[in-house]
Structure 1
Amino acid sequence: MDNLSLPSRLAVLATLAVFALLAFMTLESRGNWGFVLPFRGIKALALITFATSVALSTMVFQTLTANRILTPSIMGFDALYILIQTSLVFTIGGVGYASIDPVMKFTVESVFMTAAALALFGMVLRGVHDIGRMVLTGLILGVLFRSITSLINRLIDPSEFSVIQQANFASFNAVNVELTWITFVLTAACFVWLMSIHKRLDIMALGRDAAKGLGVDYERETKKLLAVIALLVSSSTALIGPVYFYGLLIAALSHKLIGTWRHQYLLPASCIIGAGLLIASQTLFERVLSLQTSVAVVIEAIGGITFLLLLFTRKTR
């Protein structure tokens, strides 16, 4: 794709993603199309929404931090989600947890995690050069959350531990229709807004001093972007569950295939790559190989390897 222009690269990626979507919707389809298409369609929408949300939050976060190995998930955010689920089961029991209204649970989790993410990511506001402090704080909080979760797991009724295990792993198979549409609307609104300020993002990628010199109110814009990142991460995590390295994998592929820091192309490319890769992987596992293994496990493994490669090759900026 090196000889193609940026719009042509986007067109090629979009075509491949459409083929993956068509394969997901039609392969191994037996029975009434009136049932198959809506059933698979809502699942495909959930996959696209989740991948888009992860892609946008990761790309914008890396722009703010000027670092290509940092993602919101690495900062201990998913550990907080697991702690919330474990605490709910411990407090009200497995039956009470299952009886919670999904929309209310989604709303409370999204609001709580958004507030927590803003408190954590707010460290960036003290200067983009204070990355070490922010990373260290995120890692320490992640360890703290996991330690508290481990303690609760030891105190909880063994019969309810299976409920925690199911809630604490990303699931691309069982998706709630109402939550999918809510998350889709939020993600679409964030995408439209981010695309409307893509030139401002290009300037902010130059760094705080350069952005201020070019007339951008860096602190004000950073607050807005952190709020959007927090909303995207919290809603996608509440919809599907915690996924640690997928955003990093999407970002690495986007930079490799697009080869530019222009957010006009980088943002849509990351969304297309993320959605296409996730749908293609789900199609391969479900329709072709007929495997019951969660595709999230394989994606996480590949994402972890990508993280190590970026770390050891020092391609972080």
Structure 2
Amino acid sequence: MVINNMTVNKKNQLALLITAFLIAILSLFSALNFGAAETNINDVITGILSSGEGSFNARIIYELRLPRTLLAFMAGAGLAIAGLILQTVTRNPLADPYLFGISSGASFGVVVIMSVAGISAGFMLSGAALLGSLLAMGLLILIAGRQQNAQVESMLLAGVALSFLFSAFTSLLLYWSDPQAVAAILFWTLGSFARAQWATLWLPFLVIVVCISFMLSFKRQLNAMLLGDESATTLGVRVHRFRILMLVLSSLITAVLVALCGGIGFVGLMVPHIVRFFISQGSTAGLLVTSLVGGTFMVWVDVLSRSLLKNQELPVGVITAAIGSVFFLSLLFFRKSKV
């Protein structure tokens, strides 16, 4: 009976994974039809197959919409995985790169180099975002690591405080920056995929694939962390070292995406919770479904940002914040009602 149940469960997981994959592919293809210029399915197919050679619409599809849609998908997948990492290693369902100060630290690093050095593109942005996120993570570990008995709770409280701290520093830099640069920096901090280019897509793709591979290889340790620090230690997991490793992975994903897309919040909070209703995220299929759902969600958020207002583009972070805040409050309400 147990073997039969395990077989059925694996079949259900595989079916859900295939469904999520097909929906993701369909979403990527469908999103290419939305934009200021009117296009049809033939333009999409021609643009992809001809690499943008041919009609003007085909060039729009290949050179503008396709890299933007792919970046949106990778951003959603990466932020969902980053949120899942944080929720697993801290055993806190409300953990998110924003709540832990990682995104704010990365944004601070980028704003420093944009406002002081005047750099607005290139790998310097990713490096500055990584340094900012690692600074936030270092401070977080330094503050919370001293309280071993309540480390997880302290990390969340310290993360919220660090998020406000880096946001304050960012606002101060914007206040002293050149007024012409402030508008561009502010639009960037709200999140956008408008600067997506083929030349820069390989970096988030590589980082996300490597981090997902790490999570799959450490799947046993991640499942053990859900049982608590003492149980994980009994099972042979070096809890403190492993937690730091996972936090660094989360910081790396967030830093690269913040450098390319700006600040996009609540994705890492919402998507793992949504997926958790349907499948265990401790399995291989669960991890992959989380990334696929996150990518699909962000693709359609990007479509909304381009479609809600005529001839204008809403910042992606505004839409995710509006959806995420409602989700966050609903989650707190239902958690309280169960107690």
Same fold? TM cut 0.5: yes
Task: Compute the TM-score of the two structures, normalised by the length of structure 1.
Answer: 0.85
Matched-pair identity in %? 22
Call closer, same or farther: CA 1:267–1:150 in 2, change over 3 Å. Answer: same
**C-alpha separation in 2, matches of 1:146 and 1:71:** 16
| Shift in Å, 1:122 | 5.7
Question: Per-residue displacement from partner, 1:180-238 (whole Å, max 9, x unpaired)?
Answer: 21121111111112112222211221111111112222223223212211111111111
| Shift in Å, 1:284 | 5.0
- Aligned amino acid, residue 298 of structure 2: L
Match of 1:9 in 2: 16
Does the 8 A contact of 1:42 with 1:177 survive in 2? yes
Call closer, same or farther: CA 1:113–1:261 in 2, change over 3 Å. Answer: closer
Question: Per-residue displacement from partner, 1:140-180 (whole Å, max 9, x unpaired)?
Answer: 22222223333333333333321321332211222143332
Match of 1:152 in 2: 173
| Shift in Å, 1:21 | 1.3
Of the three residues 97, 100, 104, the one matched with 1:75 is 100
Q: Is it true that 1:282 corresponds to 2:292 in the alignment? A: no
- Aligned amino acid, residue 62 of structure 2: P
Once the two structures are overlaid, the 10-residue window that deviates more, 152-161 or 61-70, is 152-161
- Aligned amino acid, residue 281 of structure 1: V
Q: Is it true that 1:254 corresponds to 2:275 in the alignment? A: yes
Match of 1:237 in 2: 258
Match of 1:97 in 2: 119
Q: Is it true that 1:41 corresponds to 2:51 in the alignment? A: no
Match of 1:190 in 2: 211
Does the 8 A contact of 1:65 with 1:124 survive in 2? no
| Shift in Å, 1:42 | 2.0
| Shift in Å, 1:288 | 8.9
Task: Compute the TM-score of the two structures, normalised by the length of structure 2.
Answer: 0.80
Does the 8 A contact of 1:128 with 1:208 survive in 2? no
Match of 1:217 in 2: 238
Match of 2:137 in 1: 117
**C-alpha separation in 2, matches of 1:167 and 1:272:** 25
Q: Report matched runs for 1:21-40 at 5 Å.
A: 21-26=28-33, 28-29=38-39, 33=47, 34=50, 35=52, 36=58, 37-39=61-63, 40=65
Question: Per-residue displacement from partner, 1:108-144 (whole Å, max 9, x unpaired)?
Answer: 3324423432442465655484233222222222222
Call closer, same or farther: CA 1:82–1:227 in 2, change over 3 Å. Answer: closer
Once the two structures are overlaid, the 10-residue window that deviates more, 165-174 or 115-124, is 115-124
**C-alpha separation in 1, matches of 2:260 and 2:16:** 30
Does the 8 A contact of 1:62 with 1:68 survive in 2? yes
**C-alpha separation in 1, matches of 2:270 and 2:323:** 7
**C-alpha separation in 1, matches of 2:13 and 2:243:** 27
- Aligned amino acid, residue 156 of structure 1: S
Does the 8 A contact of 2:193 with 2:261 survive in 1? yes
Question: Per-residue displacement from partner, 1:230-264 (whole Å, max 9, x unpaired)?
Answer: 11111111121111211111112111232x24232
**C-alpha separation in 2, matches of 1:127 and 1:57:** 23
Q: Which runs of 5+ in 1 are unaligned?
A: none
Call closer, same or farther: CA 1:128–1:8 in 2, change over 3 Å. Answer: farther
**C-alpha separation in 2, matches of 1:190 and 1:44:** 21
- Aligned amino acid, residue 72 of structure 1: P
**C-alpha separation in 2, matches of 1:277 and 1:194:** 21
Q: Any idea what SS the aligned residue of 1:75 has?
A: coil
- Aligned amino acid, residue 128 of structure 2: V
Does the 8 A contact of 1:55 with 1:250 survive in 2? yes
Call closer, same or farther: CA 1:19–1:89 in 2, change over 3 Å. Answer: closer
Q: Any idea what SS the aligned residue of 1:73 has?
A: coil
Match of 1:66 in 2: 91
